[in-house]
Amino acid sequence: MLEDLLIHELGPLGDGVHRSERGHVYVDRTLPGDVVRAKIHEGAGGLLRGDVIELIDASPHRAKAPCANYDVCGGCTLQHASDAFYLAWKVGIVRTALERKSLVPKVWHEPVFLPAGRRRRVTFAAAKKNNIVTLGYFRRRSHQVTDIASCLTADPPIMDLRAKLVTALVPILQEGKTADIFVQTVGGRFEIVITGPIGKKGKPDLAVHEAIAQLAQVPGINRISWRPREHAVPETMIEVGPLHARFGALDVALPSLAFLQPTEAGERALVAAVMELLPQTGKFADLFSGCGTFTGPMLARGPVDAFEVIGTCVRALDKAKGVQPLKVVQRDLFRKPLQPGEAGRYDAIVFDPPRAGAADQVRALAASTAPLIIGVSCNPATFVRDARTLVDGGYSLESVKVVDQFTWSHHVELVAAFAK
């Protein structure tokens, strides 16, 4: 069915939305003000989707997408928007989410928008067929692996390495199968984690070990690991040495797949925003600490207790040497949240949970007497839920700062302060 649709707004994933009596129609790669001729069909989850057949009237917010792969690649969603529209939309996501929960920060700090091209963590999709490896990302709105040889969001050295991986992976990946290739780079060194079937039978064999040893000769590669599936613990296949990251005065030897903020500049911006809010001295807690992105800089102001569930991160952070006392605790904060009495011992608490947020942990914090709570979030939807809990518990929402390091995607981060 073909229809002419006016696009009214963008949806949460960056798709254009046409509002109609029969419900929303989602049309990707469109913008508010566009009029498009679209083929309507029912998509996943019963949502109405429109595929653009023709752009009849272009939105004034349109811009030429800078990436040559934009039409096929599913990696970016908003390259076709002008910078002004894009910046306002990103801040608007946070503003609207707060408004829905009747939350009004006393101060909106100037947002930070970081340029693209500096992503230091990239997961490529790989497929091997007829002894040829296709390496790139999924095709737009599909699970078809597409060769992507240039990417404007990734750190250029990662794309240089990708070119070498296309041939190096031929003797490693299993014929007819797909795998994920995670590449992380710090200080010019690389870590590679392969997830999926490898070798003739889906697991490492002699030929795979030889090919991995060969790949490790590529300058800069520090470690190559493998795991059969997502969530499995990676098995180190070759290690020249771990990647080292510096967080404030801490030098941390990163475990495999360690969480890092996706860009160095993003990390600096988030750390700067947290440090701006943190008192000059005191005793602090860093909840969901990872390998210490915030813990390290916070140690310059006083003792820090860091809480994290992943054992390898806990041990890596525990081994790092700081100037101030650092206590690292392995604790599942979903099952065993820091209790109000414990939280009350700190002058400030930083929490930076995964996308799901920290509902139970925040309920306990809301009942505490900790004078300052600093929230870092990559998901405005769960952030506002947690912020509402803190405000209902007697905290005031002092400030919000938007940080965009996920350029051209619908993701956005923020740092917020709550006081009691």
If the CB atoms of residues 297 and 393 are measured against ligand SAM, the closer one turns out to be 297
If the CB atoms of residues 261 and 399 are measured against ligand SAM, the closer one turns out to be 261
Instruction: Report helix, strand or coil for 97.
Output: helix
Within 333-372, which residues bind ligand SAM (CB under 6 A)? 333-334, 352-354
Helix then strand then coil, in percent of the chain rounded to 5, is 25, 35, 40
Smallest gap from Cβ 105 to ligand SAM, in A, equals 21
d(CA 324, CA 308): 19
Span of 31-39, 178-186, 235-243, 288-296 interacting with ligand SAM by CB under 6 A = 288-296
Asked if 310 interacts with ligand SAM (CB under 6 A), we say: yes
Residue 144, CA atoms < 13 Å, CB-side half-sphere: 8
Find, among 213, 198, 194, the residue nearest to 128 by Cα. Answer: 198
Smallest gap from Cβ 365 to ligand SAM, in A, equals 14
Binder among 196, 290, 297, 380 for ligand SAM (CB under 6 A)? 290
If the CB atoms of residues 139 and 268 are measured against ligand SAM, the closer one turns out to be 268
How many chain residues are in contact with ligand SAM, going by CB under 6 A?
17
DSSP 367: T
Find, among 339, 353, 348, the residue nearest to 308 by Cα. Answer: 353
Residue 354, CA atoms < 13 Å, CB-side half-sphere: 9
Binder among 69, 77, 195, 289 for ligand SAM (CB under 6 A)? 289
Given a contact cutoff of 8 angstroms between Cβ atoms, the answer to whether 261 and 289 are in contact is no
Backbone angles phi, psi at 53, to 5 degrees: -100, -35
Smallest gap from Cβ 271 to ligand SAM, in A, equals 9
Asked if 332 interacts with ligand SAM (CB under 6 A), we say: yes
Active site annotation includes 313: no
What order of strands is seen across the sheet that includes strand 178-186?
145-147, 132-138, 121-129, 178-186, 189-195, 221-227, 235-239
Asked if 113 interacts with ligand SAM (CB under 6 A), we say: no
- Pair type for strands 284-287 and 2-6: unpaired
Within 221-260, which residues bind ligand SAM (CB under 6 A)? 259
If the CB atoms of residues 203 and 355 are measured against ligand SAM, the closer one turns out to be 355
The catalytic site residues sit at 378
Per CB under 6 A, residues contacting ligand SAM are: 259, 261, 288-290, 293-294, 308-310, 313, 332-334, 352-354
